Amino acid sequence: MRFRALPCLLLVLSAAPLAAQNDRLTEMNVFDLEYAGDPRISPDGEWVVYVRQFADVMTDMNYSNLWLVRSDGSEHRPLTTGKFRDNSPRWSPDGTRIAYMSNRDGVPQIYMHWLASGQTAAITNLTDPSGGLSWSPDGSHLAFSKLVPEAPLVIGEMPAPPPGAEWAEPAKYTDEIVFRFDGIGDVPSGAWHIFVIPAEGGTPRQLTTGETSYTAGFVPIPGGGPKWAPASDAIVLDANLRDDRDQEWLDSEIYEISLADGAVSRLTDRRGPDTSPAVSPDGRQIAYLGYDDRYQGYQVTRLHVMNRDGSDPRVISGALDRSVYMIEWAPDGSGIFGLFDDEGNTKLAFFEPDGSHEVLAGNGGSGSMAYGGFGTSYTLAADGTFAYTTSLPDRPGDIVVGRRGSSPRYVTSVNADLFAGKTLASVEEIWWESSKDGLPVQGWIMKPPGFDPDQKYPLILEIHGGPFANYGDRFDVEKQLWASAGFVVFYANPRGSTSYGEEFGNLIHHAYPGDDFHDLDSGVDAVIAQGFIDEDNLFVTGGSGGGVLTAWMIGNSDRFKAAVSFYPVINWYSFALTADMAPVAVKYWFPGLPWDNVEHYESRSLLSVVENVTTPTLIMTGEEDWRTPMSESEQYYKALKMVGVEAVLVRVPGEAHGIWGRPSHGISKITTVKGWFDKYATQRRPVS
């Protein structure tokens, strides 16, 4: 049965005065929003170059250009223009050039821009994927990671087709445990290696060799890229070169690679991730991140320091029960900068050698969503001045500049023109005690523009994914547009969320989904107690891990009028055998393999509670989602149909996990939620 838009939806929208509709964000404003990211401050601290992301309404594509602004906010101007994807800007050590990546000639290449002359030229002619761009400290070379392709696996020998014949595409063979990856599709045959190229251009020289990729973790693409030693004679990086990498995906080590002969030295040797190395300015120490792996669902990542040869490793951030990430030495070597999330707020901090730390800036974020850490970045000038990305509910994706001892100041305001004529939803923090065990839980209430406390509003509970992630009071375009339509939106960090310490995060270890239901359900009660919620119009949605918990909520409660589950995991047994990240999930989220722990997998399956569901439910997933494959959504949809629940399955062509690859598809997420919830609402949404 096809879903048809009902006349009542038109009545809801037409009930608002035209002026009230015009001063709110609308779905078409997705094409007006811009986000400033990856700020790179010049060595002298005078300029910031950053990536400015935008969407084009005519091509329905996301693009990015580079912009320049002085560190006092003046002389703001574009460095590149056009409907391309320009990214990864990197200042030369002398501040006279900016290297960056761009797809403006098709395959992404490394470009060089000379500030004095304004000239730009491509300095590579690459034919394979690349990334992780970094300058040598002496300015003579650039290092980057690149795929070194190899012939794909073929078993047997096919006969050649006759001249002029048009045969089908050949069969695809693989002997890799991960042969498709979300956002990539089929993983190309070959290995990622480190290359260096003269800064004036030339032929890239391959520095590492072998059949194993010089990448860390389970992602078959480069991470932050190689880091140089101060003398420009060596590179340090993290990589998992284990023979059993398929089984121990997170067990990376720190390596040093000689620029002269490519000799590789391993500097760490423990079970667990050692990542993100950075060499001290005097070349004597290396800061890095990691932990001793206990195969828990969540462990706090600690800041470490060791001698350059790998000796005397020691924990610096042991007193901080929060994960540290994205670290850089202070230019004078006096300490280490890094990010951490605390109670839903991403913070930039300076860590002293004794482990104490000072918070320099907060409210980090990408601008597009409420997730902590996602898209947050910073860089340092020679004098310690930093540029940092921030996000607030009313100010997405802007850049601040600051330094120790002074308050950061904004140097961009990329959405000021759009927001000048708009009223945004307001965001308020709320804490409550879980009905399960009295555990304190944090969340946020987003109130519609023109909110009237004497009105009764429908409520959307929106649940984050991960599950080991966190939300905060950051701009979130999906939530803002739902609130602009007259919903109160409630989002929270139930047990298992990061930014509250290791114990809180591991309350769902081998127990997800589970008691997080009580945290969220009692959170809904806490919002209702505020007095402005229509208890007959409660709705629930979420994506990925939030899609899991959406199905879990309606499998344990009938209080919600309707639900939308985006790209969920429904059957942990099938997920373990189909998802791109399945080996990690099996190792860390479960006590063992599915066939050895059938009851454990089945008790946490959403199919175990599907017979309890009475809530009309829509499931929406990208057809090229390899993180939570479409087969998961299809299982849930058919199960709901078989038990007589009203259900709709939505397949989004060409989309990976998240459904924001094309702007119009992201908009369809927002309009589908509104349409589905309006279909089952018992009264119209108040729109002032």
pLDDT in tens, 312-325: 999 999 999 999 99
Q: How many domains does the chain have?
A: 1
Compute, in degrees rounded to 10, the torsion defined by CA atoms 84, 87, 92, 96: 40
Mean pLDDT per 10-residue interval, the chain, length 688 residues: 29 36 89 97 98 98 98 97 97 98 94 96 93 95 95 95 96 92 91 95 94 79 81 96 88 96 96 96 98 95 98 96 97 97 97 95 92 91 97 95 94 96 96 98 97 96 96 96 97 98 96 97 98 97 98 98 98 95 91 94 96 98 97 98 98 97 97 97 78
Q: Which of 417-426 are b and which e, b meaning 16 or more Cβ less than 10 Å from the residue's Cβ?
A: eebeebbbbe
Nearest to 129 by CA among 190, 209, 200: 190
d(CA 164, CA 194): 41
Query: What's at 67, amino acid-wise?
Result: W
171-210 residues labelled b (16+ CB within 10 A) or e (exposed): eeeeeeebbbbbebeebebbbbbbbbbebeeeebeebbee
Contact in structure between 274 and 301 (CB atoms under 8 Å): no
List C-alpha distances in Å: 197 to 87, 98, 143, 165.
Answer: 19, 15, 7, 43
Q: How far is CA 393 from CA 346, 425, 473, 582, 686, in A?
A: 14, 8, 6, 34, 22
Question: What range does the domain containing 633 cover?
Answer: 7-26+420-570+605-680
Residue 144, C-beta contacts closer than 8 angstroms, at least 6 positions apart: 110, 130, 131, 132, 133, 134, 194, 195, 197, 204, 225, 226
Q: For residues 75 and 68, what is the distance between their CA atoms, to the nearest angstrom?
A: 8
Do 229 and 208 contact (CB within 8 A), yes or no?
A: no
Compute CA 120 distance to the chain's CA centroid, rounded to the nearest angstrom.
Answer: 31
pLDDT in tens, 90-114: 999 999 999 999 999 888 999 999 9
Residue 614 maps to which CATH number?
3.40.50.1820
Cis peptide, bond prior to residue 513, ω within 30 of zero:
yes
For 103-252, strand residue ranges (E) read: 109-114, 120-122, 130-135, 141-149, 180-181, 185-186, 190-198, 205-206, 227-228, 234-239
Count other C-beta atoms under 10 Å from residue 113's C-beta: 21
* CA distances, 671 to each of 54, 479, 564 (Å): 21, 12, 12
For residue 570, give every residue at least 6 positions away whose Cβ sits within 8 Å of its Cβ, in sequence order, or none: 548, 551, 605, 606, 607, 632, 633, 635, 636, 639
Main-chain phi, psi angles of 583, to 5 degrees: -60, -35
120 assigned to some structural domain: no
Is the CB of residue 201 less than 8 Å from the CB of residue 120?
A: no
The answer to whether residue 328 sits within a structural domain is no
Q: Is 139 among the domain residues? A: no
Instruction: Quickly tell me which residue has 């939300």 as its tokens.
Output: 471
Residue 516 domain-assigned? Answer: yes
Q: What are the distances in angstroms from CA 140 to CA 97, 199, 202, 231, 328? A: 12, 5, 12, 11, 22
Domain assignment present for residue 543? The answer is yes
Q: Is residue 452 part of a domain?
A: yes
Residue 476 placed within a domain = yes
Dist CA 159 CA 152 (whole Å): 17
